[in-house]
Amino acid sequence: METEFKTGLKIKKLRELRNYTQEFMAEKLSMSQTGYSNIERDETDVSLSRLQQIAKVLEIKLQDLLGFDEKMLFVGTMTNNNTNQAGVIFSSETFERERKLYEEQIKQLKEEVAFLRGLVGERAGF
C-alpha cells in the first residue's frame, strides 16, 4: 500500500538535504521554531503564501517542493562552507537515464582515443 508523501514531510526532507535547522528556517520565515515544527509534522494548515516563502528559503520552485517525493534525487552544489547554494531536483528515472547516456558517451570516447593512439603509433613506427 502506497502512502501519501505529506507536505510537512516534503519540507522536512528538503530542509535536511540543505543541512538547515528548524531554527534557521523559523528565523528566515519570521516565526517560532515550534510553529515551524508544527508545519513539518503536518499539525497545522499551511497557506499558499507560506509555502512560497518556504520554497524561497529552500531555494527551489514551489512546484518542486509540492512535487517532491521519496523517488526524487536532489543534486546540490557545495560552497567552501559546505552549504548547498543551488540545487536541482531530478526523478530517479531521469538520473538513471542521464547516467546511461554518460556511460555510453565515455565508452565511445575511449574507443576513439584507442583508435587515434593506434594511428599515432603506426605513423611513429611503433
pLDDT in tens, 14-43: 998 889 999 999 999 999 999 999 999 999
Place of cell 517542493: 65
Q: How many CA atoms lie within 13 A of 103 on its CB side?
A: 6
In this model, does residue 47 exceed pLDDT 50? yes
pTM comes to 0.57
Domain architecture of the chain: domains with CATH? 1-70 (1.10.260.40)
pLDDT in tens, 69-110: 766 555 554 444 444 444 555 555 666 777 788 899 999 999
78 dihedral zone (left: phi>0; alpha: psi -120 to 50; beta): beta
